[in-house]
Structure 1
Amino acid sequence: MAIAGKIYRALLRFFEKYYGFFFAVGVLVLAFYCFRCLDVKYVDSWDEARHGVNAYEMIQNGDYIRHTYNYQVDDWNLKPSISYWAIVLGFRLFGYSVWGLRFFSALAYLLAGVLCALFAKRWSREASLLVLGFFCANERPLSAHLARAGDADSLYLLFFTVAVLAMFLVKKNHKYVYGCGLAFSLAFLTKSWHAGMIMAVGGIYLLGTGELRRFRKKEWAGFLLSVFAPLMLWFGWRFTRDGFFFLKSMIETDLLARTGSSNFEGHQFPFSFYYDTVFGDGGFIYHWQLLICTVGILGGLLWMWKKKAWNREVLEQGGGLLLWFLLPFLAFSAIGTKLIWYCYPCTVPLALGTAWLLGGLMRLPLTGEETTQEVDKAAAIGGKKKNFTTVVGITAAAVSVLLVGFYMKNAYFHVIRGAHGDPFLMFIEESADRDSAWAGGKAYIYVSGEDPADIGTWDQNMLFEAEISGDFHCEEGGIEAFLSENGRAVLYVDRLDYEQNMEKLQDVEILHENAGYLLLGK
C-alpha cells in the first residue's frame, strides 16, 4: 500500500502541476462533443424547426421583434426574442444552414461547462476537471432540445448557470448581484417564465445566508435596474407591434395554461415523471450522481455533527447546490405540463456536487499527508492515516474514471455517432439552390410527413429546410393546387406518388430527382 500511495500522490501532484494543460484538453473534448457532426441530425419538427423559421423570416421581413411562421404572425411559442436573435446571428455568420441554426446553442453549452469548471476549481483542481467530464457525459441535454438543437434551452441554461454562480459569489462582493440580475433578465428574455426558478433559488439562498438583509439601498437599486432595464427595452420594442397582446398571451398560455392542472397540449404526466425518465434511470449518469451526492451529504453532516465542527461555507455552498437542484425538480414535477427539457437545469448542480465530493476524496491523500506532517508526529498513527486516505483516494479516482468514461462513451455513440439525417430533408437541401431561377417562388408538397393523413401539407422541419435551401414560399394543397397554380412554382413529390400521377404531371419539368423523391417545376 505504501508504494501504491506514493505512486498515487505523485500522479495527483503531476495533475495539479499541469492543471492548465489538462483543463485545456478537457475544454477541447467538451467542444468536440458540442460541435462534432452538429449538422448531421435531422431538424426536429417542433421547437427547433419553428425557431429556425421564425429567425429566417425575421431576416427576410427585416423585423427583429415580431415572429412570423410561413410569413404569418406567429404567437405559437410565446417566448421573447433572444434565442431567435442568436439563430439570426448564426445564419449571418455561417449562412442559411443547420450548422447556423445550432451553433450558438452548442457554444452556450460549452460556455456553461467552462464556467462551472472554473467555479469548481475553488474546491479542487480534480473537481474542476471532473465537471468538464460530467458535461461530456450529460447525454440527455446533448441528445435532444439543448446543447445540439436550435432552440431556446441551451441559452437559457447558460443564463441560469451564470445567475446562480454569481449568486454564490455575492457574499464575496455584493456587485455580483448585478450580474445575477442581468443573467435572470436575459434568461427571461430567452425562456420566459421558466426564469422564475432563478429568482426562487437566488431569493431563498440569499435570505437563508442572511446576505439579503445586508444590501444597501444603492445595491438594491442597481439590482433592480439590472433586472428591469433589459425587460423594459424589449417590451417597449414589442409594444410597438401589437401593444399588450403578446404579453397577455404569454401570461394566459405560457404561464397559466402550461402550469395549470389541465392536460394542456397533451403533456401531463405523473409527479414522478422526471425521476422515472431521467434521474432514476440507470441508463444515464444522473442515477449515480444522485446516489453519490446523497451519500456525501449524509456523510458530511454526520461527520460535522460528531466533530461539532460546522463549516458555514461548506453548508452554504452545499445548501445552494441542493436548492439549485431541488426547487426546479419539485416545481416542474408539480405543474401540469411536463417536458423532459424542463429538468435540464437540474443536471448542472448535480454535476457540480458530484465533482466537489469525488474531487475532495481523490485528493484526500495529499490533505492527509499535510495533516500528518503538521499535526500528527506519531509514525504509526500517521501510517494508518496514509493507508486509509490512499484507499479512499484511489477508490474515488477509480469511480470517477469509470463513471465519466462509461457515460462519455454512451453519449458519444448515442449522440454523435448515432446522429442521422432524414432522407426527404436531405433531398430538399440537395435539390434547392437559392441562386436558381426557381428560388423565392411558391413551393408545394406531396410527401407524407408525421401524419400521413395530412399529405399535401408542410411539416415544420420540411418548411424550414425549404425556406433556408430555396427561399421558397410554402403553399398547401399538394398536386392539385400545384397544377392549378398560374405562376411559376415547384412541387416536391414522393416517387411512388409521382408514378401514380404521371399522366397529370407529364407536362411539368423534372428539376431534380433521386431514388425516393422528385422536385418538379412549372
Structure 2
Amino acid sequence: MINRFTEFYRLLLGLFEKYYWIFFAAGALVLAFYCFRCLDVQYVDSWDEARHGVNAYEMIQNGDYIQHTYNYRVDDWNLKPSISYWGIVLGFKLFGYSVFGLRFTSAFSYLLAGIACALFARRYSKETSLLVLGFFCANERPLSAHLARAGDADSIYLLFFTLAMLAMLSVKKNHKNVYLCGLMFSLAFLTKSWHAGMIMAIGGICLLANGEMLRFKKKEWGGFLLSVFVPLLLWFGWRFTKDGLFFLKNMIKVDLLARTGSANFEGHQFPFSFYYDMVFGAEGFIYRWQLLICVVGILCGLLYMWRKKAWNRILLEQGGGILLWFLLPFLGFSAIGTKLIWYCYPCTVPLALGAAAILGGLIRLPLAGEEKDVTESEGEKSSENDGRKTEQKCGQFSGIRTLVGITATVASFVLVVIYMKNAYFHVIREAHGDPFQLFIRESVSRDASYAGEKAYVYVPGEDPAAIGDWEQNMLFVAEISGDFHCRDGGIEAFLSEKGDAVLYVDRLDYEQNIEKFQGVEVLCENAEYILLGH
C-alpha cells in the first residue's frame, strides 16, 4: 500500500516536471497580474513617487535628461543619480503621461526580478523555481508600498541588486559572471546611490570566502573594473557638465554621511529591531514563516552533514551566499541611523529563494531516495531473512520520504495561497483613487485652451496649514494632466495674477469667497471641487 502511494506521488512529480514550462508560464502570468492589475489607480503618493514623477516629466519638457528639476527649479532634494528617472521617462514615452506610465517600469522590474530568480532556482529543482514565483506574489510589503507598484527608484534597484547576487552565486561556474555582477552594481548605484554598497560587500565577502577572488586572472580583474567604472564615469562626466562637483559633494554629505550617521536627520529614528518588528517578525506577513523554514532547514542540514561526516561544499557555498545576501543588508540597515521600511526590501528575495529551495528539496525527497533504496536492498540480500528485513526497512524509509514530501507540498501550497490571497485583497482590491487627483485628471486635457497656463490651488491637503500651496502629488497630476505651471499663493495670488491662470478650489471655500470670483469663469466642476479660470 505504501509503495503504491509512493509511486503515485512520484508519478505526479513526474507529470509536473514534464509540463514544467506550462506551470512556469502560468506562474509568471500570475505574477504579472499582481504587478499590473489596478496599477493606474489615481492615487499618487506625495513623497518619492510624486517627486520622481515630476522630475521625470520635467526632464522631457526641458530636454535635459541629467539634471533634475522640480516645478522647473533645479532639484537636489533626492540626490540620486538618473536611472530611476529614465525608467519613468520610458513609461511616459510608452504609455503617455499617466499614472500607469509613472509606475510601469517599477512593476516590470519587479516582474523581471521574480522571473530571473525563478529561472536561477531551477538549478535546485523545478519545484523550487515555481515556489519562488509564488513567494514573489505573496510578497505583500514590497507590493503594497514603495516598490513594485510605485513610481520611484526601489523596484529598479531591487532588480539590479537581485541580478548582481545571482551573478555572484554563479561566478564559480563561470568567472565571466563577475562582469555582470560589476555592471549590476554600477547600475544599482546609478539608481539608488550608496545603497548599492551592500552589493559590493556581499559579493566581496562571498568570493573571498569561497576562494574564487584569489583565482581571478588579470584579464578578469580588468573586465570587472571596467564593468563597474565605465557606466559610473560616463554618468559623472555628463553630470559634471551641469554643476561640477556640487551634486557629488551633496551625495556624500547628505545621502551618505547624514542619513547613515544621524537617526534624526529626517525624523526616522527607530530601534535596531525596527525591520524585524515591522516586516520579518510581524504577524500577517509570510516572512516569519519563511524565516522559520530557513532556520529549521539550515540547522537540520548542518546536523545531517555533521552526523554523516559528508560536507557538501557546493551546498554550503550556495547556502552561505544566500544567507549573507539576507543577513548583511538586514543587519547593516538596522545599524545605521536613518531607517525606512523599504531599505530592507532586498532581503525578501534571498529569504524567498532560501525557503523555496528547502521546501523544494523536501517535496522531491521521495525521488531522491529511489537509487539509495535499490543500492541498500541489493547489498544486504545475503539471505532470505535479511532480504525480508531490508525490504521492510526500505519500505519504511520510502513511506517516510513520501509522507515528508506530501507534507511539504501541502504546506507550500497552503502558505503560498493564503499569503497571495492576503496580498491581493490588501494591495490590489483595496487600491483606491484620490477624489482631488481624479478631478484634476477629469478637468483638463493637454490640448484644452487653458492647458499650459499658471495654476493655483486652494484645496485642503495632508497639511491643513499649507492650504494654498501645491503638495507634491497634486503638482505631479496637474503637470501630466494639463501641463500646468504650478504656483503657490491660493485664492489671493490667483486673483492678483495679471495673465491667464486657473485655480482649483474646493466647493466650500468657493462658496465662502464667491463675491471675490465675480467675472471668473467656471471651467469645470463636480460636487466637491471647481476649476476656475481668467
Q: Same fold (TM over 0.5)?
A: yes
Following superposition of structure 1 onto structure 2, how do residues 479-518 of structure 1 map, counting pairs within 5 Å? 479-518=491-530
Deviations 1:292-351 (A, max 9, x none): 000000010000000000000000000000100000000000000000000000000000
Following superposition of structure 1 onto structure 2, how do residues 415-454 of structure 1 map, counting pairs within 5 Å? 415-454=427-466
Once the 2 structures are TM-superposed, how far is the Cα of residue 41 of structure 1 from its aligned partner?
5.1
Distance 1:335 1:41 in 2: 35
Following superposition of structure 1 onto structure 2, how do residues 98-177 of structure 1 map, counting pairs within 5 Å? 98-177=99-178
Q: Which residue of 1 aligns with 2:313?
A: 312
The amino acid that maps onto 2:237 is: G
Divergent runs of 4+, >4 A: none
Q: Which residue of 1 aligns with 2:357?
A: 356
Q: Which residue of 1 aligns with 2:48?
A: 47
Gaps of 5+ in 1: none
Does residue 207 (structure 1) correspond to residue 208 (structure 2)? The answer is: yes
Q: Which residue of 2 aligns with 1:458?
A: 470
TM-score (norm 2): 0.97
Distance 2:6 2:264 in 1: 58
* Count of residue correspondences: 522
Q: Which residue of 2 aligns with 1:197?
A: 198
Query: Is the 2:106–2:149 contact (alpha carbons within 8 Å) kept by the matching residues of 1?
Result: yes
Query: Is the 1:51–1:84 contact (alpha carbons within 8 Å) kept by the matching residues of 2?
Result: yes
The amino acid that maps onto 1:484 is: S
Percent identity of the aligned residues?
A: 76
Distance 1:317 1:262 in 2: 35
Larger of the two Rg values belongs to structure: 2
Deviations 1:10-32 (A, max 9, x none): 21111111001000000000000
Once the 2 structures are TM-superposed, how far is the Cα of residue 6 of structure 1 from its aligned partner?
3.0
Distance 1:4 1:77 in 2: 60
Following superposition of structure 1 onto structure 2, how do residues 66-77 of structure 1 map, counting pairs within 5 Å? 66-77=67-78
Q: Which residue of 2 aligns with 1:57?
A: 58
Q: Which residue of 1 aligns with 2:39?
A: 38
Deviations 1:47-80 (A, max 9, x none): 0000000000000000000000000000000000
Once the 2 structures are TM-superposed, how far is the Cα of residue 259 of structure 1 from its aligned partner?
0.1
Once the 2 structures are TM-superposed, how far is the Cα of residue 379 of structure 1 from its aligned partner?
1.5
Does residue 325 (structure 1) correspond to residue 326 (structure 2)? The answer is: yes
Query: Is the 1:34–1:110 contact (alpha carbons within 8 Å) kept by the matching residues of 2?
Result: yes
Gaps of 5+ in 2: 379-389
Does residue 182 (structure 1) correspond to residue 180 (structure 2)? The answer is: no
Query: Is the 1:79–1:189 contact (alpha carbons within 8 Å) kept by the matching residues of 2?
Result: yes
Query: Is the 1:446–1:478 contact (alpha carbons within 8 Å) kept by the matching residues of 2?
Result: yes
Distance 2:523 2:6 in 1: 71
SS of 2:531 mapped into structure 1: strand
Query: Is the 2:42–2:438 contact (alpha carbons within 8 Å) kept by the matching residues of 1?
Result: no
Which of residues 393, 411, 420 in structure 2 aligns to 1:399?
A: 411
The amino acid that maps onto 2:273 is: S
Distance 1:34 1:110 in 2: 7
Once the 2 structures are TM-superposed, how far is the Cα of residue 432 of structure 1 from its aligned partner?
1.3
Which of residues 409, 412, 419 in structure 1 aligns to 2:421?
A: 409
SS of 1:504 mapped into structure 2: helix
Query: Is the 2:523–2:532 contact (alpha carbons within 8 Å) kept by the matching residues of 1?
Result: yes
Query: Is the 1:282–1:288 contact (alpha carbons within 8 Å) kept by the matching residues of 2?
Result: no
Query: Is the 1:457–1:477 contact (alpha carbons within 8 Å) kept by the matching residues of 2?
Result: yes
Following superposition of structure 1 onto structure 2, how do residues 243-282 of structure 1 map, counting pairs within 5 Å? 243-282=244-283
SS of 2:515 mapped into structure 1: coil
SS of 2:530 mapped into structure 1: strand
